Amino acid sequence: MKKLTPIIIVLAVLFLISAVPGAIHLYTDWLWFGEVGFERVFLTQWAWRIGLFVLAFAVAFTFLFVNLRRPLVGVVPPFLVRTGPEVAPVDLAPTLRRFTIPAAAVLGLGVSAPLSHSWMAFLQYLNQTPFGITDPALGNDVAFYFFTLPVLSAVFGLLIPLSVIALLLVVVLYLLRGDLIFKPPVVRVEPSAGWHMAILLALTFVLLGGQTWFVQIPELLLSQEGAFAGATYTDLHARLPAYRIIAGVALGCAVLVLAGAFLRRTAPYALVAIAGFLVTAGLGGLLFPGLVQRFVVAPTELTRETPQIESHVDMTRLAWGLDQVEVRNLRGEARLTLEDLRDNAPTIENVRLWDRAPLLQTFGQLQEIRTYYDFRTVVDDRYWINGRYRQILLSPRELNVASLPQRTFINQHLTYTHGMGVTLAPVNQVTTEGLPVLFIKDLPPESSVDLHVTRPQIYYGELTDNFVFVNTNRQEFDYPAADENVFRPYTGQGGVHVGGFLRRALISARFGGMTAFLSGDIERDSRILYHRNVADRAARALPFLLFDRDPYLVIRENGELVWVLDAYTVSRNYPYATRSANGMNYMRNSVKVVVDAYHGEIRAYIADSEDPMIRTFDRVFPGILLPMDDLPTDLRAHLRYPEDLYRIQTALYTIYHMMESETFYHREDQWQIPTLGVERAEPFMRRIIMRLPDEPDPEFIFVTQFTPRGRDNLAAWMVARSDGDHYGQLVVYRFPRQSLVFGPMQIMNRINQDTDIARQISLWDQRGSQVIRGELLVLPIEEALIYVQPLYLRAEGGRIPELKRVIVAYENQVVMEETLDQSLAVLFGQAEPSPLEDPGAPAVPRTPPPTLEPAPEPAVGLDPEMLRQMQEQYDRARREIERLGELLRRMQRPEGGEG
């Protein structure tokens, strides 16, 4: 024992060195969970983690200790080892017995630790909610795969390694002791040792048989390895019966081994059992399924797999919510007129002419004000502004501490603590200089409309990755003014009190070190704000949810700023359902999370009360998830269909709109989502305000298009609705197969081939300016499509992109003018675009457009190609005359009038 004392001391010191930081981390996390009011999540998580670990360790340690101790006890010294022919044998039993406890402890830790990570699986199992949907092969409720199967897998994952380790160690000990002697072809086993090893081997066989029956068989329905997800014909008619036989053979082997021990023939019976099990597993698990696949399935695969394909398609559609997609057929014969455009004025008025990238650059140059402010993202949203439903682009002005002139501890953590305000612009308005019209701008934020920001400080955001101390002896910088900086203390409810000596020491050990601990600016009543990144903050508070990549900021009716995050319940265990790139095959946007940008308060609301997973989590953490009725009405108006889910659903729908098994098998009608080409491989997927066909009112939607695989013409378009009672509805509008509707790539090609557009772009390039082609927008109007592409110009040496032209394409016509209204008016045969202009814009005097003589009748007998060229020349001349007329009208405007 004296020899082991130094080792024990060293191990204890190492344990303390590693445990103390972990304990400090745990304590400060507990303080944070108390701040946000989610103590139940913290306590439940750690109580179950620790409880499962202690239980698993107790079982593993006891099992290993008992089995290791058994060969080391006896009437005679069991381990006599000679080091030489003339040297007396040495008894190793006392030394081995001393190492029994440490060995059992170390091995027990290694085996039991993984079980603590399954704490959520056990909680879900104990609080599970049935799905009411059964799998088509085994008849289990889907809840079995979500909640029961993970627990069974975790339990067998603990017991089988434990049994095997104990068996191997016991065999080694009995070999050393001499109770197990190998002298081929004879193997001699002492009876008591034979019984001990036989029991362990039999237990291993029982566990292997149980794992095969209760885990491996259900997992056949989760397979992703075949041509489609789920159990194939080979799985159901070869592997399934083979696994059942293997499970039965395992139980038979356990009985055989025990019978061998009873007959005192442990070794031969054990060898026969092991060989028999391995042969059965090899033949049944590998060879037999391979033969069935090769000689039964492959020659007539479609016939054999038809029932499984039907199950796969049905279950995938259920798992991803595609069974709820409403399909509406379009006639494909619509012809748009000016009257149609007037009827869809809200759609035209909300065409997004500003792309995110150019707009962020413009915001950065015009509105960052100081180098330490940054616009990281642009939010697509909608507001009622001056009585009209408007789509806007909003960007929060966040503090970027990496850009501070002096990155001292005081500057980063005490003085510069928050961002300030937002910049907000309508999607479709442009100044005479080609810059966005700003409804909210500057510091402090000023608004030119009836939407105001009353509390602009952003303490919690997307760039707030550092901790800060507030209510200190240092003034907190609020915003820069013309003459001097404005300072204002934090009066919110967020943060953890620094407190007394011990609490301050523990907080400082994690945040700020000795600088924070010794700082005279930080007092007892000061607070520390940490975990301020809104995505990280929400994920810590709700660790059982997966969050969308795109949090968005909302201005409330009272002028306060809050973040809204979409949260998902996810699983990879939906039978027969295909998995997405993130490994999941079930996803529901069941929770909306709101984080206050000033207080840091977190509120989670159940958005889908029909989801069995969220109902299970609500039982696990009662009181944490609030009903959707508690969500304030002004925030409910800004909920939107989440991007990550929509991207996955649209990608899957390109295949899973085919529900007939033969069509699905051959991929006869597979679609694809068009992209912006090789250089910009983004899918055509946009949020817009529009009035859907046969719907009375405009609404905020997420829209994407589908083209047939390998072709560029449109097949359909899908929308996800976000407003009112229609929230969450997916609608697909399909074009007739015989119709030819130009897709985005075809329109891009037509734009690129237009000589007038090419000439203008070439002229800009020759002057040294950089032409930036905006995103091609697809506007469904009635049953037709209009394509819009803005063109931006960045002057040589400049940094601000300016909107200079708007290209509009409809069918085989392409027009480029200075404004959207002008392009639409020219495209649809009216030089005066006033009926489509913003009704709230100031009136501009106009002169009548030049009178154009009608095109002369072509002479009889002219070659068709010559006629086509003549018509093109005439159309080009007509557009040039209209541009000349517009220039004349501008020259006649009063001096100082708006351009």
Q: Is the dihedral of CA 386, 390, 393, 395 positive or negative?
A: positive
Q: How far apart are CA 118 and CA 511, in angstroms?
A: 30
For the chain, helix, strand, coil in percent to 5 are 45, 20, 35
pLDDT score, position 325? 96
pLDDT score, position 13? 67
Unique residue bearing structure tokens 């290209």: 807
Asked if 564 contacts 552 with a C-beta cutoff of 8 angstroms, the reply is yes
Select from 651, 458, 461 the least CA-distant residue to 560: 458
pLDDT score, position 676? 65
How far is residue 421 from each of residues 386, 564, 777, measured CA to CA in Å? 21, 17, 29
> Token digits for 211?
């794992």
Q: What is the helix (H) or strand (E) element at residue 604, kind and residue range? A: strand 602-606
746-770 residue pLDDT tens: 888 889 888 888 888 888 877 778 8
Q: Is the dihedral of CA 538, 541, 543, 545 positive or negative?
A: negative
Asked if 800 contacts 365 with a C-beta cutoff of 8 angstroms, the reply is yes
Can the peptide bond before residue 185 be classed as cis, meaning omega within 30 degrees of 0? yes
Query: What's the pTM value of the predicted model, to 2 decimals?
Result: 0.86
Asked if 781 contacts 336 with a C-beta cutoff of 8 angstroms, the reply is yes
Task: List, in order, residues 6 or more apart from 581 with CB less than 8 Å away.
Answer: none
Asked if 462 contacts 377 with a C-beta cutoff of 8 angstroms, the reply is yes
pLDDT score, position 860? 39
Buried/exposed 223-237: b ≥16 CB within 10 Å, e otherwise: beebebbbbbbbbbb
pLDDT score, position 828? 85
- Residue type at 271 in one-letter notation: L
Task: List, in order, residues 6 or more apart from 251 with CB less than 8 Å away.
Answer: 205, 206, 209
Mean pLDDT by 10 residues, the chain (899 residues): 58 68 92 95 96 95 90 60 64 71 88 92 97 96 97 96 94 81 76 92 97 97 91 95 96 96 91 95 92 93 94 97 94 80 88 89 89 92 94 95 92 95 94 92 94 96 94 94 89 94 94 93 95 96 96 96 98 96 95 97 96 97 96 96 96 95 92 71 81 90 93 92 94 89 88 88 82 88 89 84 92 89 84 40 35 38 53 62 61 45
> Token digits for 161?
């390694």
15-52 residue pLDDT tens: 666 678 889 999 999 999 999 999 999 999 999 999 99
Asked if 606 contacts 588 with a C-beta cutoff of 8 angstroms, the reply is no
pLDDT score, position 839? 35
pLDDT score, position 85? 67
